[in-house]
Amino acid sequence: MSKINSASSSTPKLSELETANALLQEEIRQRKESDLRFRLAVKGTTAGVWDWIDVNSNQEWWSPQFYNLLGYSPEELDATLENFEAILHPEDSARTFELVNKHFENRESFVVEYRLKCKTGKYRWFLGSGQATWDVDGKPTRMVGTIVDIHERKTAEAAAKQNALDLKKKVTELQELTYVASHDLQEPVRTIASFADLLKQNYTDKLDTAGNQYLDFMQEASNRSQQLISDLLDYTRIGKNQEVTDVDTQQILSVVLADLTSRIKDSGAKIDADQLPIIKGYPIDLQVLIQNLLSNAIKFSASKHQPLIKIGYENLSSEHHFFVADNGIGIEEQYFDRIFVIFKRLNARAEFEGTGIGLAHCKKVIELHNGKIWVESKVDKGSTFHFTIPHLP
């Protein structure tokens, strides 16, 4: 009995054999299924597939599309690690293998952009990615991955980067040129102005009426040139030598209103303002911005009637929104963009004094803060200048 028992414990029963067989069949079926899935995926994808069957050996397997992407045939280039290293751009090699090692050691995901030399002799950019398998001791055994051609995107990115750099360089050069030109112009213009003043003081009685009138024109023109040059210099200095700080715009408004006291009084302007916030920005530039908008609102309303001015504020989810509204002469819609261009004015100087730089200045200040500035207006009804400044952390 005991013999029979011991025999039955070492020899599997028929039912156990059948179960084991069924499991084996199922495993074979699943393997075949996944093998088919892999082969179909390899065939259908535009990516090139590589299989480093044993990571301790040199031999690899590359899919037909892998060869297509590089322009080689399997006869021309053996699928080996050595050949992959030979076509990998020398500048990308260290980074790529460092990432492979990190993947093997820490199982960090392996995704890398590198250049491979194609049969044409030229390098193209590819996105490489892969996944290893590990044995029970945690040693990498095999690695399978893909390459995707990203050459067009990479070259477009590089060109865009270069264009941005070139543009930045040109803007800096232009700014320097404007600064130097306006700075150097100051001196001769100042000399003309002071000699015109001397002439006026000491020689008025020696000149006839026409001569005196010419002298007045000269003085006027040199004063205007001085004003233009000083405005231009201020414009070139926007954002320079300043740090982003907390700016109390309510406080700025008080300073601006104090500066404009006599103009407010003379024009009888009534100014109504919302409570303004503390924001992150460049304090001096924001003061000039508010000053320009407010003085324009007074200037372009006062000729008609009592200026009624509203300074509004609302806190939106991603930005601060301010506006300055007046009941002045208004602006035709066709000029809504033009008025922000430097030296562009819509009115005769005799009618409204100014150099035409104020709104260009405002636009540059707002761009420095990555915000937007625009106008809404109706002729003879008034204008509203809006500007936004994004919330900064």
- How many C-beta neighbours within 10 Å does residue 149 have? 19
Q: How far is the CB of 334 from ligand ADP (least distance, A)?
A: 12
If the CB atoms of residues 42 and 325 are measured against ligand ADP, the closer one turns out to be: 325
Q: Is 281 helix (H, G, I), strand (E, B) or coil?
A: strand
Q: How far is the CB of 266 from ligand ADP (least distance, A)?
A: 17
Parallel/antiparallel/unpaired status of strands 48-52 and 140-149:
antiparallel
The alpha helices in 260-357, defined as continuous H runs, are: 261-267, 283-302
Per-residue tokens: 371:
């915000």
Parallel/antiparallel/unpaired status of strands 308-315 and 270-273:
parallel
- Tokens 């001569």 found at: 211
Nearest to 255 by CA among 284, 296, 297, 298: 284
Q: Is 331 in the site for ligand ADP (CB under 6 A)?
A: yes
The Cα-based distances of 3 to 9, 10, 157, 258 in angstroms read 10, 11, 81, 114
Q: Which of residues 268-327 bind ligand ADP (CB under 6 A)?
A: 292, 296-297, 300, 326
Q: How far is the CB of 267 from ligand ADP (least distance, A)?
A: 13
Q: Is 221 in the site for ligand ADP (CB under 6 A)?
A: no
Q: How many residues bind ligand ADP (CB under 6 A)?
A: 20
Q: Is 193 in the site for ligand ADP (CB under 6 A)?
A: no
Q: How far is the CB of 169 from ligand ADP (least distance, A)?
A: 28
Q: Which of residues 356-385 bind ligand ADP (CB under 6 A)?
A: 356-360, 383
Binding residue for ligand ADP (CB under 6 A) from 277, 312, 354, 390?
A: 354
Q: How far is the CB of 351 from ligand ADP (least distance, A)?
A: 9
Question: How far apart (Å, rounded) are the C-alpha atoms in residues 127 and 111?
Answer: 7
Q: Which residue is nearest to ligand ADP (CB)?
A: 354
If the CB atoms of residues 160 and 341 are measured against ligand ADP, the closer one turns out to be: 341
If the CB atoms of residues 92 and 231 are measured against ligand ADP, the closer one turns out to be: 231
Geometric angle at alpha carbon 37, from 31 and 40, rounded to 5°: 140
If the CB atoms of residues 33 and 272 are measured against ligand ADP, the closer one turns out to be: 272
Q: Is 182 in the site for ligand ADP (CB under 6 A)?
A: no
- How many Å is the Cα radius of gyration of the chain? 38
Question: How far apart (Å, rounded) are the C-alpha atoms in residues 198 and 211?
Answer: 14
Q: Which residues contact 235 (CB under 8 A, 6 or more apart)?
A: 178, 342, 357, 360, 361, 364
Question: How far apart (Å, rounded) are the C-alpha atoms in residues 266 and 257?
Answer: 13
Q: Is 89 in the site for ligand ADP (CB under 6 A)?
A: no
Q: How far is the CB of 327 from ligand ADP (least distance, A)?
A: 10
Binding residue for ligand ADP (CB under 6 A) from 347, 372, 374, 376?
A: 347
Q: Which residues bind ligand ADP (CB under 6 A)?
A: 292, 296-297, 300, 326, 328-329, 331, 339, 345-347, 354-360, 383
